[in-house]
Amino acid sequence: MTASGEVKICSREESTDLFWQTCGGMGWTGIVLSAKFSLLKITSTWMRQKTVLANDLDKIFHAFEENQAWPYAAGWVDCTNAHWRGTVFFAEHHEAAEIDASLVFSEAPKRNVPFYAPSWFLNPLSIRAHNHFFFNKKRKEEELVTLDKYFYPLDALQNWNRFYGKRGFVQYQFCLPQKNALEGMRSVLAAIRKSPEVPFLTVLKRHGERPAEAVHSFPIQGYSLALDFPRTAGIFDLVKKLDALVWDLEGKIYLTKDACSAPEMGRWIL
């Protein structure tokens, strides 16, 4: 539905310009009343997951590049480590021998954070300790995990945002083109290290090619980084510095996470 109240139908075959403007446009062409799309056919609710430990940022990127045959890839980066070590998780849908009750998806029981943590709970020391234990956690190199454990690990803990206290948190996410990705990520992480701000969670993802017409889609061929910072007075100054870096690296930010960014960061890479 457009601003005038007119309802239009668009697709790859009909009103194609409006269709591609709407894809990734986050509602700027109007309100999406209904949508139809194809899903991937699967035979079970399990994922085959491969875990790779990497002792520095170069090895993290090497793991991503060496495992491009895996359709899903996401990495965790330890920003408190001098070399930015991390863990990369690759996955593909497990093929069941026959289609049966394994397609019945049941959410696992969830734990709850019953109260807001005090503002001092997440600090450089506690974040460093968390990262140490996460990196050294015993994991199998390959194993079967559930859909939600791979795609939505944070959802296993209800109200996890309360760890940040009532001040809340700021998530900063950006995507860099392939040509600038490794050195660009290094520059961004170095800028964070020079600041007093320490992200509790840092997630690196590899993105493949997108349709050329989908100019508003956030992912571009390259890598994105999502950083969760406790909301402090200094986070606004840091975001300004990160915005400048991302701009110079021909990247872009995710516009649903633009709370602290300058308006110019709404540009799109064509």
Q: Which residue has the tokens 């696992």?
A: 108
Q: 97-101, 105-109, 125-129: which has the minimum mean pLDDT?
A: 97-101
CATH superfamily, region 16-34+42-96+127-266: FAD-linked oxidases, C-terminal domain (3.40.462.10)
| 53-56-61-66 Cα dihedral, nearest 10 degrees | -50
Q: Which residue has the tokens 């239009």?
A: 8
Q: Which residue has the tokens 């990520």?
A: 185
Question: What does the pLDDT read at residue 269?
Answer: 47
Q: How confident is the model at residue 48 (pLDDT cuts 50, 70, 90)?
A: very high
What distance in Å separates the CA atoms of residue 45 and residue 152, rounded to the nearest whole number? Answer: 13
What distance in Å separates the CA atoms of residue 44 and residue 159, rounded to the nearest whole number? Answer: 29
Kindly report, residue by residue over 134-188, the tens digit of the pLDDT. Answer: 999 989 999 999 999 999 988 889 999 999 999 999 999 999 999 999 999 999 9
Integer-rounded Cα radius of gyration of the chain: 20
Q: Is the pLDDT of residue 58 over 90?
A: yes
What distance in Å separates the CA atoms of residue 60 and residue 52, rounded to the nearest whole number? Answer: 8
Question: What does the pLDDT read at residue 99?
Answer: 53
Q: Which residue has the tokens 């090895």?
A: 59
Kindly report, residue by residue over 213-258, the tens digit of the pLDDT. Answer: 988 888 889 999 999 999 999 999 999 999 999 999 999 999 888 8
Q: Is the pLDDT of residue 69 over 90?
A: yes
Mean pLDDT of the chain: 91
